[in-house]
Amino acid sequence: MTNSSAQPALLHTRLYHENVIDHYENPRNVGAMDKNAKDVGTGLVGAPACGDVMKLQIQVDENGTIVDSKFKTFGCGSAIASSSVATEWLKGKTVEECLKIKNTDIASHLKLPPVKLHCSMLAEDAIKAAISDYKRKQSASG
């Protein structure tokens, strides 16, 4: 006789790579910053096809380096994992370096199946939107 409670966990690990499971079960940098702060850029993006919504924020120092990043995502495990990875990768990089982060890099790291590539695309779009918001604030104040 098999233990039926073990079956969902086994199925869970077969569907998703351990990197997705890790970032889904232990998401990094969940939270929010003051969206009105001059040094904070906010990107809010969504995928109408699946209903995922991702908010990603960056805090940039006077040298143009991202010193903090937070996210809140309403969506599937792949969307949450993509957000979590993105926030980790942003910290310590310049704004320009962060624009080079592509959804394919995130998808490759998480080993996302083709049907979940839109989740990594949301993360790339959120990064670009947050940087755009930050740059808009800088040009408006400066």
Catalytic positions, written as ranges: 50, 119
Residues pairing with 52 in the sheet: 47
Residue 61 tokens, joined: 């120092």
Rounded to whole angstroms, the Cα distance separating 13 from 8 reads 9
Residue 123 to residues 32, 34, 36, 92, 128, Cα–Cα distance (Å): 16, 20, 21, 18, 9
